[in-house]
Homo-oligomer: A and B are copies of this chain.
């Protein structure tokens, strides 16, 4: 099953809705930095996201330094942003907001 990238209109709508996320034009991706009280809280968040990622079969590119988690979402199979990224971003937001 191939995954279609978002079209222009869908992308604009998604970026408008995901107001905590930035658009990375070079990667056709969205990025967000999450900051927590300490490493334990940051890694707790990562663990919850890891479970989501396996369930949704969609995995972030991410890095962690102490209390900070930098996330980039894009869909390799689609060659750019897809609904999977929008869904995952919303699910990640729901864990912290």
Complex contacts, A40 vs chain B, CB 8 Å: 54
**Is the pair B63, A63 in contact by a Cβ cutoff of 8 Å?**
yes
Complex contacts, A66 vs chain B, CB 8 Å: 59
Query: Cα distance A61–B67 when bound, in Å?
Result: 11
Interface string of A38-60 (1 = CB under 8 A from B): 01100100110010011000010
Query: Cα distance A50–B47 when bound, in Å?
Result: 10
**Interface residue? A35 (CB, 8 A):** no
Complex contacts, A62 vs chain B, CB 8 Å: 63-64
Minimum-distance CB pairs A-B, first 7: A63-B63, A43-B50, A61-B65, A39-B59, A59-B66, A62-B64, A40-B54
